[in-house]
């Protein structure tokens, strides 16, 4: 059984058949050159008979891309095979890939041909392609729904005609891994001349089993896997190249197979295909999705920080991803926060970390994503230890275009809570007047500003201001996803600074 598995990439042929994924000739060349850098063994560059543009793109790739086999697809028809050869003949390693349907449903409704006609046409097509190139691949389309005995007969016939690779397509994603693996195993036993050809598989993902079926085939004797970057392709797509590669690499103890793929370029290649096709990768996509190496749960983050292998079976660097991402959110733990802050340059004492963590948790309940800017703001607030004489407990605003804004504010001072309401020219003014009723400090606003310090709809807003209290001007700063709340916090921050000054101690601050 072959130890080296040939990786046959069909992103530029089957992948381009994804709705909306049409590529320009120059874009196809860019992807092909990246695939060569990735070190795929074969590139199916297109279906030359499909259009003049496709033929020219395959020609260009054949001339410019060195290293991999360059393959053109053809039906088992003279014009198709002529076009395929015209497209790939400039390559130093040309291949023609011919196909013909063999399942009863395709023979009856699509081709309207009997089994003996299929055998004759398949054999003729391989012999005709063989006049042009030594490397000929044959695919019995819809092989997974073909009667096994007829499939064995077709394979024996095309190998005798000169096929060097016989591909077993699960054309409509119908197969189940155990069943498909057994089919490949039976081919190795029931086709007398199978040792003269490489068994390939091409699996579609209609039931979400393309990768599982491909790997089951590898275990049972397949020597080539046909796949696409990001798993793009007809309908639900093809087997994902990156998942095939990392499956075999991560579980090398089970598969004991090797490929030539430079897996550190997988993420880079994935991004390129996304950019050029416009087909985005879902965040939870295995290996190359944005969440593939991201952890938010506190238990997971703690484990990762102690020993990466507790929750990661692959290193992000192995696929060119960069590094593990600890996503800061409401499920994150104290250990993860401390690690992220350390990376940002903040070394906090235990009591400072406790305060920062409590503030972080409150923010995380309101905000889906916590950015580094959010964390910096939290730390800067907590490390400047202004005693909280007054702390905001509750805030309510009543406001409309046809009524005077009214604010109700409840503050805590030591163990006592006091509430007051006031109206004002706007909601912020009403809040400040309510605060003044409670504190009795009567601040006069001399400067006020609001800015967004993070991105997104749930951005963290920062209010900054200056207040004149009995001739003493102090600044205040507050942050929140709610700009009114941020404004109140900024005002209280200024009031707390007034109260923390020994020269300004008054009965209102006691």
Strands 444-452 and 461-469: antiparallel
Cα–Cα distances in Å, from 88 out to 11, 259, 491?
17, 24, 73
Tokens 């001349």 — which residue? 193
pLDDT at residue 31 in the model:
96
SS3 258: strand
pLDDT at residue 500 in the model:
72
Strands 416-423 and 403-413: antiparallel
pLDDT at residue 309 in the model:
65
Cβ proximity of 295 and 311 under 8 Å: yes
pLDDT at residue 503 in the model:
46
Dist CA 177 CA 40 (whole Å): 24
Cβ proximity of 390 and 495 under 8 Å: yes
Instruction: Of 155, 168, 218, give the one whose Cα is nearest residue 4.
Output: 218
Dist CA 468 CA 444 (whole Å): 5
Number of H helices and E strands in the chain, helices first, is 17, 16
pLDDT mean values, one per 10 residues, the chain (510 residues): 91 88 90 97 97 96 98 98 98 98 90 91 98 98 97 98 98 98 98 98 97 98 98 95 96 96 94 88 82 57 60 73 59 75 72 80 72 66 70 94 94 91 95 94 89 69 85 81 92 85 55
pLDDT at residue 504 in the model:
46
Q: Which two tokens stand for residue 377?
A: 């703001």
Cα–Cα distances in Å, from 333 out to 182, 204, 340, 454, 479?
47, 41, 11, 22, 22
Q: Which two tokens stand for residue 228?
A: 């696409």
Tokens 């057994």 — which residue? 182
Dist CA 468 CA 30 (whole Å): 63
Evaluated on CA atoms 375, 378, 382, 384, the torsion sign reads positive
Who's near 73: CB < 8 A, 6+ residues apart?
13, 44, 46, 47, 48, 84, 97, 99
CA-CA-CA-CA dihedral for 16, 21, 23, 27, to nearest 10: -90
User: According to the 3-state scheme, what is the secondary structure of 395-414?
Assistant: EEEEEECCEEEEEEEEEEEC
Dist CA 170 CA 184 (whole Å): 12
Give DSSP secondary structure letters for 116-153: HHHHHHHHHHHHHHHTT-S-EEEEEETGGGS-HHHHHH
Dist CA 446 CA 470 (whole Å): 13
Q: CATH topology for 391-509?
A: Double Stranded RNA Binding Domain (3.30.160)
CA-CA-CA-CA dihedral for 413, 415, 421, 422, to nearest 10: -10
Q: Is 276 exposed, middle or buried (0-12, 13-18, 19+ CB in 10 A)?
A: middle
pLDDT at residue 385 in the model:
59
Dist CA 263 CA 245 (whole Å): 8
Name the class of domain 6-277. alpha beta
User: So where are the chain's domains?
Assistant: 6-277, 294-383, 391-509
pLDDT at residue 382 in the model:
58
Instruction: Of 57, 64, 133, 138, give the one whose Cα is nearest residue 100.
Output: 138
Dist CA 101 CA 144 (whole Å): 11
């Amino acid at each position: 059984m072959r130890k080296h598995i040939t990786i046959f990439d069909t992103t530029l042929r089957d992948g381009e058949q994804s709705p909306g994924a049409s590529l320009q000739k120059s874009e196809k060349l860019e992807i092909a050159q990246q695939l060569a850098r990735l070190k795929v063994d074969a590139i199916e560059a297109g279906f030359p008979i499909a259009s003049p543009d496709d033929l020219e793109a395959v020609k260009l790739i054949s001339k410019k891309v060195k290293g991999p086999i360059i393959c053109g697809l053809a039906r088992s028809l003279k014009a198709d095979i002529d076009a395929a050869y015209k497209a790939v003949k400039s390559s130093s390693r040309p291949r023609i890939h011919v196909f013909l349907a063999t399942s009863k449903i395709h023979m009856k409704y699509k081709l309207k041909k009997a089994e003996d006609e299929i055998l004759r046409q398949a054999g003729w097509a391989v012999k005709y392609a063989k006049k042009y190139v030594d490397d000929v691949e044959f695919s019995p389309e819809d092989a997974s729904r073909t009667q096994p005995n007829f499939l064995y007969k077709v394979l024996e016939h095309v190998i005798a005609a000169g096929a060097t690779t016989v591909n077993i397509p699960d054309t409509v994603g119908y197969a189940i891994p155990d069943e498909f693996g057994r089919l490949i195993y039976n081919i190795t036993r029931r086709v007398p001349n199978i040792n003269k050809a490489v068994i390939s598989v091409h699996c579609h993902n209609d039931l979400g089993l393309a990768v599982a079926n491909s790997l089951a085939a590898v275990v049972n004797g397949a020597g080539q896997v046909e796949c696409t970057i990001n798993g793009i392709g007809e309908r639900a797509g093809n087997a994902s190249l990156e998942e095939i590669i990392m499956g075999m690499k991560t579980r090398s103890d089970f598969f004991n197979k090797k490929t030539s793929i430079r897996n550190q370029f997988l993420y880079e290649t994935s991004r390129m295909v996304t950019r050029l096709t416009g087909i985005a990768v879902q965040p939870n996509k295995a290996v190359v999705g944005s969440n593939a190496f991201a952890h938010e749960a506190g238990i997971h983050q703690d484990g990762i920080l102690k020993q990466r292998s507790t929750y990661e079976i692959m290193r992000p660097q192995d696929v060119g991803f960069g590094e593990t991402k600890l996503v800061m959110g409401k499920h994150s733990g104290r250990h993860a926060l401390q690690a992220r802050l350390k990376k940002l340059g903040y070394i906090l004492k235990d009591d400072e970390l406790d305060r920062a963590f409590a503030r972080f948790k409150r923010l995380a309940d309101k905000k889906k994503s916590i950015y580094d800017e959010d964390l910096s703001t939290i730390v800067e607030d907590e490390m400047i230890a202004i005693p909280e004489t007054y702390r905001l407990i509750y805030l309510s605003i009543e406001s409309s275009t046809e009524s005077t804004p009214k604010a109700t504010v409840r503050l805590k001072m030591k163990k006592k809570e006091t509430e007051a309401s006031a109206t004002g020219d706007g909601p912020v003014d009403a809040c400040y007047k309510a605060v003044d009723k409670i504190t009795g400090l009567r601040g006069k606003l001399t400067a006020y500003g609001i800015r967004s310090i993070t991105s997104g709809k749930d951005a963290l807003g920062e209010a900054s201001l200056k207040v004149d209290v009995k001739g003493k001007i102090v600044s205040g700063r507050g942050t929140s996803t709610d700009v009114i709340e941020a404004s109140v916090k900024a005002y209280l921050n200024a009031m707390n600074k007034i109260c923390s000054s020994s020269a300004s101690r008054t009965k209102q601050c006691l």
